[in-house]
Structure 1
Amino acid sequence: MSENPLPTSRQDCQTDHYGNIIDLMPPNSRQVLRIALNLKYLIDKLIPIAIDESEIVKDGSNVLTPKVIQLTYEACGGDQSNKEYQQKYRAVLVFCLIKVSSWYNQLSSVEISNSKLYDVRSITAQQLAKIIIAKEEKKNLHFLFMQMLLRKYAINENDKDVEPTNAVEMATDLHCTIVIGSNGFQRCLRWLWRGWIVQSRHDPMIFIKEERIASTKFWHHFNPERIKTPKYQNILQIIFSILFLLIFTSVVNGKSGTTVAPLAPIEGIFFVFTFGYICDEIFKLYYVGVAYFSFWTLFNDTLYLVILFSMFFRFNSIFPTFLKNRPPEYWDRISYRLLSCAAPLVWSRLLLYLESERFVGAMMVVLKHMMKESLVFFVLLILIMLGFVQGFLGLDLSDGEREITAPILTNLVITVFGMGSFDAFEHFAPPYAAFLYYSYCFIVSVILLNILIALYSNAYQHVVENADDEYMALMSQKTLRFIRAPDEDVYVSPLNLIELCFKPIMCLLNEERRKDLNYLVMLILYSPMLTYVVSKEIREAKRIKYNRMKNLPDDSNEVDTPWDLGDGFFDFDESLFGYSDDRNGFRATLSMNRRSQQLQREAERSDKNFSVKNDWFKEVKRISNLREPAISSELSALEERLNKMNQHTNKESEGIRKDIQKLLALKSNDEDRPIWN
């Protein structure tokens, strides 16, 4: 079945002038809750006991049969004879399955005795969502992307409507790697990453297809609106991060002399960059909320905090308003020393923007899991250290004087790094201090450090075994970081400071003039980047037009595969912006495909006995059907066992029913007898 292409305009999305979808108004929160409850009931009955997870996720699962998939669709209700009415409720199917999976995760953490059962049910809900996505991808790509994955829905929980969200956001926040790893989900993310699907300005609850991706006109792509594309924002962030690193290097390694030098222009640029990044972090954390907080948020905030302290001491050395108890040269040295300590963080920060590369992304996932696992080690270490510190301080105060407290604390800390020394405790409160220190060394060096190694090994093994799924989950998080940005007009840091400067002026203008001013400012700022966008997107637009001409999805023919002689797209236009006629590329592609197929046929016909017989193709088709009888026999055997169990149960029930009738008859006979005194 050919895939339905996505709509190419807002009119094709069937929206009104406010951007709301006309024919598919979303179900209300109570209806969404009922669908979720139906799905939970289905999964509860389907998985009554804990089974192996592989029985759920494997291809051709005997648990998730076509009948179960059909029941999953029917759990949404609706008029089965009316397709549009039916789609209204089926649109929330993936959303509800992910929500049900989260319910099972909550139950797993509460009812530990049944955690295995709830984990299997959670995986079942995710696998059902994956199967539904795969089926809808083949039937209706528009319905899958716009309604099932990207449209936001609200569900009622405990008589309160939860904040509306979509299936993509929920699956990413809950780390549902099974759903995220599905092909349809990944295609949706790629379209978001490229800016082929954008959020509606009129209704943030829905997403629409970008109208101009198939246009070959220059000004349709030389437009600041295209900077909203996550891919281009990521490129800009990498460029500004490299500039930030170069400026930081110049500032840290540019000090000459012991006197306090005036503020250099390069330092001013560095502080402006930092302030822009800090403002961006504050705004995103305020608008996005807790969902924005992550490992990298903490990492960046630590870096900016160190730089802020350095800036404070630097300005205090130039303008000694505060901290006058020391000379300005002292605070100048402190400023540069703090800035030097931030160097590892500045260099490591590049990994945040390079994580879209698969190798770097996988390693970052490993690092993140290792950091989480290390929290267990540090909690144990701190508790044990506090106990031994109190013991050593008690020994030090046993004679009424505190003498070697500082050396004791230092030695306990460096022992963790394998640099401890027994000399400090040789003549200190023998033999108690030595006994305590030997115990401390044994616990830290032999037990805790080996626990840390085991935790790191477990984290690495877990991520490597699921490297592809973990990488796709990471890219999903990265894409949503851009999609969830609250600004209608994107100013990538540190250009957001220019937006702040223009805010007072924009407040004095009406909406139309404000948009014109924003457009002009962004056009000037992003003109170098937009030049690259135009040169790239016009060439892509030709391929998209070619795909639509052949009734194929927009992302078809991206790669010319050697096993398909009819795919690929060839554009021989060597100009910067690809201004040649679109039909030249179409004709060249069709001509090359026809020529390739003709040469292949001629080469095959050169030997009349070369070609295989038609019977061979028939035999190959039969192979795909060989597995079906085996599966059917397994299902038949299982069904037969269930029927026997039901028959046995029915016989027992019938016997019990007859016994009850006899007892009731005896009771009625006793009541009818006359009572003799």
Structure 2
Amino acid sequence: MSLPITHNDYATTALKAPSPRQVLRIALNLKFLIDKVIPIAYDINLVTCPHSRILNSKVIRLAREACGGNQNDKQSTKKYQSVLVFALLKVSSWYNAMSGKELHNADLYLLRSIAAQHLSKIIIEFEEGVDLQYLLLQMLLRRYSINENDEDSEPLSVLELATDMHATIVIGASGFQRCISWLWRGWIIQSPQEPTTFVLDDTVSSLSVGAHFCPDRIKTPKYQNILQTMFSILFLLLYTLVVNDKDSARVEPFNSTEAIFYCFTLGNILDEAVKIYYVGTAYISFWNVFNDALYAIIGVSFVLRVISLGLVSTKYSAEYWDMISYRILSCAAPFAWSRLLLYLESVQFVGLMLVVLKFMMTESLVFFVMLFLIMIGFLQGFVGLDASDGSNEITGPILKNLMLTVLGSGGFDTFKSFAPPYAAILWYCYCFIVTVILLNILIALYSNAYQKVVDNALDEYMALMCEKTLRFIRAPDEKVFVPPLNIIELVVKPLEYVLSKSQFDSFTHFLMCALYSPILVIVAVNEVRTAKRIQYNRMLNLPDDANESDEAWNLTDGFVDNDSSLFFDDDNGGIHETRARNNKSLKIQLKAEQADPHFTVSKDWHKKVKDSVQPVQEGFQTGVGWELFALYNEAELRYRKSERKVEELTGAVNELVNTVKELNLRKS
């Protein structure tokens, strides 16, 4: 059963954010608490298990009290507790830094770091069942700053901080993933007044197609990803046409296909530059470097292509530069095709393989550093042997042979008659170090990277999707022009200084409607269908994401999607059909159960099950699990009461409607 979302009377920005110095004090209090709770290095399972007696209910309560505030004023406590998860993550980062500095206590500090993250996960999952809106908008998405070494840090949200830290424990929390899901769908969006903050989108429950046919919906990461995938396929098609269209030895001017292809590349380069400018180094990752390498190769090819047109005078012929340009562009083919995988990473299998590949490439840096140093050392020895007779004759073949040895194709023929026996000794030592030691180290590193990802596969995949979602929303952009459409944005940008703000906004709105109109039609129809289910959930006081699937063990969940009208002329059709289906299903089930009078279990059976105490529950009584179990039961009880009240109110309204209809009939 899903817990209902709590709609409080405070707005998203009603709670003033604690100052950086206040956040620092909260973090110091939490560090003091964790230091006392974990004075020595325990077994990690004693800290992270669900029924942990170390991170028990008392510790949870002390962690909340560490935030301060007026305990008699709910607004005051919520103001300071909103920064609780952020402060815990900061404390976790402190412990990680200390583990690298004080190696003799590294295990203890790493355990405390994990404990801080696990405490964050417990608090997130608790708040999810108590106040979902407060969790999403205040605790996870609001940006906070902390004062460290008398300097205020850049404001970061918990989502951004956890992603930058690769805190998979926190990222794996259900409330955290729920927040990512709502961001991915566009249910939580950037505030129109302040792009650096987030609010619940009011249009998600609207049944008006016009409300959803809006270019602002392109800010949704899900739709941006679809558009980028489409443009990437088109980019690959253009690349194929440009590379394979060279059928003449003559230098020809740019054709339309080539011009569009380079415009696509320019749009992607501008998009990368803007995001790095706003986000900073946190945006740079392995796959960004991969993309940038592709754009760099295409950029070099473009410059040489321009030179071949005679715009710059050189000593080489135009045909030479044209040939080099196309050859360099051809070398970008592996990058261009592999780039498609980046847009398929939302598929779990592909995503995990990309994570494995990233880890392998990162781990292999150690190997290449060692290989480079050893290769330079042996190369200097061989060059010295070559120069010992006063002339350098075979330095080039030596270097080539050293490189081929790494790939398993080196040979001794180069050194047969070269400075015996010194060259032979150096050569065999080099072969032994590279082929026996270094290559086996590389295999071990790859195996370790693969095992590390596989052992933590689900958390790594969730971290990947978190990073992918933040990639779309982390750089604030009021008007989203998906590359290469940002070239059009760059062209019309000067109009902002000519037109008034309202005129320019209207112009860009109509321009975006025209550009995105095909996909906006699909978006509007799809979101209107979703809006009917959201309204049904809100009528039952359920979260917006409830009833998305029809589970076999719940006879009253799911939602009947009314396909009778594309634009849903009957606004309540799906709701009525869902109620009718549920009632019919319950009646059929009840009739089948009553077919045999001896089939039904005794009335006190359910009570016996509820009153039974399992051994694991006895362990929970001194751990945080028992507190969460009790709070869940309490929340479920409140939900049942509210559901009965809603049904009573619905019945009263129906009776009132029927009475009014009867009175109208009598008057007529």
> Structure 2 length normalisation: TM-score?
0.91
Task: Give the paired residue count.
Answer: 624
Matched, 1:455 2:452: no
Match of 2:108 among 96, 114, 117: 117
State the partner residue of 1:363: 353
- 2:524 corresponds to which letter in structure 1? V
CA displacement at 1:622 relative to structure 2: 4.2
CA displacement at 1:259 relative to structure 2: 1.9
State the partner residue of 1:352: 342
Matched, 1:581 2:607: no
Q: How does 1:78-477 map to 2 (within 5 A)?
A: 78-317=69-308, 319-322=309-312, 324-477=314-467
State the partner residue of 1:666: none
| Unmatched segments (≥5 aa) in structure 1 | 16-20, 636-677
State the partner residue of 1:658: none
SS of the equivalent of 1:509 reads coil
State the partner residue of 1:47: 38
Q: Distance in 1 between matches of 2:2 and 2:271?
A: 44
- Between 455-464 and 148-157, the greater mean CA deviation after superposition: 148-157
- 1:326 corresponds to which letter in structure 2? Y
State the partner residue of 1:629: 618
Q: Distance in 2 between matches of 1:412 and 1:282?
A: 38
- 1:377 corresponds to which letter in structure 2? F
SS of the equivalent of 2:552 reads coil
Q: Does the C-alpha gap of structure 1 residues 229 and 630 become closer, same or farther in structure 2, counting only changes over 3 Å?
A: closer
Match of 2:588 among 594, 599, 605: 599
- 2:166 corresponds to which letter in structure 1? H
Q: Distance in 2 between matches of 1:436 and 1:584?
A: 83
Is the contact between residue 101 and residue 125 of structure 1 (CA under 8 Å) also seen in structure 2? yes
Q: Does the C-alpha gap of structure 1 residues 472 and 629 become closer, same or farther in structure 2, counting only changes over 3 Å?
A: closer
Q: Distance in 1 between matches of 2:269 and 2:615?
A: 62
- 1:350 corresponds to which letter in structure 2? L
Q: Distance in 1 between matches of 2:110 and 2:348?
A: 29
SS of the equivalent of 1:526 reads helix
Q: How does 1:602-613 map to 2 (within 5 A)?
A: 602-613=591-602
- 1:85 corresponds to which letter in structure 2? S
| Unmatched segments (≥5 aa) in structure 2 | 625-668
Q: Distance in 1 between matches of 2:119 and 2:359?
A: 27
Is the contact between residue 288 and residue 486 of structure 1 (CA under 8 Å) also seen in structure 2? no
- Between 446-455 and 353-362, the greater mean CA deviation after superposition: 353-362
Match of 2:523 among 515, 533, 541: 533
- 1:621 corresponds to which letter in structure 2? K
Q: Distance in 2 between matches of 1:399 and 1:460?
A: 50
Q: How does 1:51-66 map to 2 (within 5 A)?
A: 51-66=42-57
Q: How does 1:533-552 map to 2 (within 5 A)?
A: 533-552=523-542
SS of the equivalent of 2:572 reads helix
- 2:330 corresponds to which letter in structure 1? S
Of the two structures, which has the highest relative contact order with CA contacts closer than 8 Å and spacing of 6 or more? 2
Q: Does the C-alpha gap of structure 1 residues 260 and 303 become closer, same or farther in structure 2, counting only changes over 3 Å?
A: same
CA displacement at 1:350 relative to structure 2: 0.8
- 2:286 corresponds to which letter in structure 1? F
CA displacement at 1:530 relative to structure 2: 0.3
Q: Distance in 1 between matches of 2:360 and 2:371?
A: 16
CA displacement at 1:608 relative to structure 2: 1.7
Root-mean-square deviation (CA, aligned residues, Å) is 1.7
- Cα deviation 1:370-400 (Å, max 9, x = unaligned): 0110000000000000000000001101111
Is the contact between residue 52 and residue 623 of structure 2 (CA under 8 Å) also seen in structure 1? no
Q: Distance in 2 between matches of 1:30 and 1:324?
A: 61
Q: Distance in 2 between matches of 1:108 and 1:66?
A: 27
Q: Distance in 2 between matches of 1:263 and 1:626?
A: 76
Is the contact between residue 311 and residue 335 of structure 1 (CA under 8 Å) also seen in structure 2? yes
Q: Distance in 1 between matches of 2:27 and 2:623?
A: 31
- Between 622-631 and 430-439, the greater mean CA deviation after superposition: 622-631
Is the contact between residue 195 and residue 476 of structure 2 (CA under 8 Å) also seen in structure 1? no
Matched, 1:520 2:517: no
CA displacement at 1:623 relative to structure 2: 4.4
Match of 1:35 among 26, 50, 54: 26
Q: Distance in 1 between matches of 2:475 and 2:591?
A: 56
SS of the equivalent of 1:582 reads coil
Q: Distance in 1 between matches of 2:253 and 2:552?
A: 64
SS of the equivalent of 1:198 reads strand
Q: Distance in 1 between matches of 2:497 and 2:221?
A: 28
State the partner residue of 2:638: none
Q: Distance in 2 between matches of 1:149 and 1:482?
A: 17
The sequence identity of aligned pairs, in percent, is 57
Is the contact between residue 572 and residue 585 of structure 1 (CA under 8 Å) also seen in structure 2? yes
> Structure 1 length normalisation: TM-score?
0.90
Q: Distance in 2 between matches of 1:2 and 1:232?
A: 27
CA displacement at 1:345 relative to structure 2: 0.2
Q: Distance in 2 between matches of 1:97 and 1:168?
A: 13
**Whose Rg is larger?**
1
Is the contact between residue 196 and residue 209 of structure 1 (CA under 8 Å) also seen in structure 2? yes
Matched, 1:5 2:13: no
Q: Does the C-alpha gap of structure 1 residues 431 and 333 become closer, same or farther in structure 2, counting only changes over 3 Å?
A: same
SS of the equivalent of 2:155 reads coil
- Cα deviation 1:535-567 (Å, max 9, x = unaligned): 110000000000001110000000111110000
SS of the equivalent of 1:349 reads helix
Q: Distance in 2 between matches of 1:418 and 1:457?
A: 20
- 1:114 corresponds to which letter in structure 2? N
Q: Distance in 1 between matches of 2:270 and 2:479?
A: 16
Q: Distance in 2 between matches of 1:630 and 1:468?
A: 27
Is the contact between residue 151 and residue 166 of structure 1 (CA under 8 Å) also seen in structure 2? yes
- 2:178 corresponds to which letter in structure 1? R
Is the contact between residue 224 and residue 526 of structure 1 (CA under 8 Å) also seen in structure 2? yes
Q: Distance in 1 between matches of 2:338 and 2:529?
A: 35
Is the contact between residue 205 and residue 534 of structure 2 (CA under 8 Å) also seen in structure 1? yes
Is the contact between residue 367 and residue 438 of structure 2 (CA under 8 Å) also seen in structure 1? yes
Q: Does the C-alpha gap of structure 1 residues 2 and 359 become closer, same or farther in structure 2, counting only changes over 3 Å?
A: closer
Q: Does the C-alpha gap of structure 1 residues 581 and 98 become closer, same or farther in structure 2, counting only changes over 3 Å?
A: same
CA displacement at 1:611 relative to structure 2: 2.2
- 1:600 corresponds to which letter in structure 2? Q
CA displacement at 1:322 relative to structure 2: 2.6
CA displacement at 1:206 relative to structure 2: 3.0
